[in-house]
Amino acid sequence: MKKIILIIVAFYLSACNSTDEQATTQIPKEKQPTGRVLQYGLYTLVSGGDVIDDPKTTTGKGVSKPVITRDRTVERIPLVRNKYMAYQYRLSNLPGKGRIKLRRVLTHPEFKLPDGSRSSGSNFMVTKKLDRGEVIAYDAYALNEDYEMIEGEWIFQIWYKDKKLLEQKFTTYHPDEKEMAKLTAPSWLDKKHSR
């Protein structure tokens, strides 16, 4: 009986010891995945940007390979057709090589889609190129449809597994006539691409 008790105690002590070892091998805070926004604001389409069907998005549509340029750094986004709210971000200390799966979450003011359904956001997986533990990428939302012209808060998030790495907030609003005239006036980009 003493041998059985000694075996049980030895087993218990070794289990406690291995738990302590696991606790000390956690990833140090400076090596854990992190994210930060590099730039953000109101953007204009330069080229590309064909509208395609994309069932995972809020509207069931997406914009294919847009090239955008930042008009101004703002968190208040005027509701103007064919403008983008966008941000560039950097994620660091990610494991692995090649490509990595991330979760992109968007919440926005509720709007009614043409099919009668309502939408207040999207939540889907994206795959990004991983280079030396880092991802540098853009995330954007194009304001293309009348039903998207709803004032309110838009919250973009990027998650890795169960950890939110970053968040960018925008607030949309209806510009007055003077601001709308400036925002929709032809720009040097329009002149450059009409040649």
Does 15 reside within a domain?
A: no
Rounded to whole angstroms, how far apart are CA atoms 93 and 142? 30
Q: Is the pLDDT at 193 greater than 50, yes or no?
A: no
- Mean pLDDT taken over the chain: 84
pLDDT in tens, 98-112: 999 999 999 999 999
**Residue range of the domain that includes 45:** 29-193
- pLDDT tens-digit series, residues 93-148: 999 999 999 999 999 999 999 999 999 999 999 999 999 999 999 999 999 899 99
What is the per-residue burial (b if ≥16 Cβ within 10 Å, else e) of 149-161? ebeeebebbbbbe
User: What values do phi and psi take at 188, rounded to 5?
Assistant: -60, -30
Residue 156: CATH number of its domain = 2.60.40.2390
Tens of pLDDT along 23-48?
A: 445 767 778 999 999 999 999 988 87
User: What is the tally of structural domains in the chain?
Assistant: 1
Q: What is the pTM of this model?
A: 0.77
Does 49 map to a domain?
yes
| In a domain? residue 7 | no
C-alpha torsion 111→65→170→104, nearest 10:
80
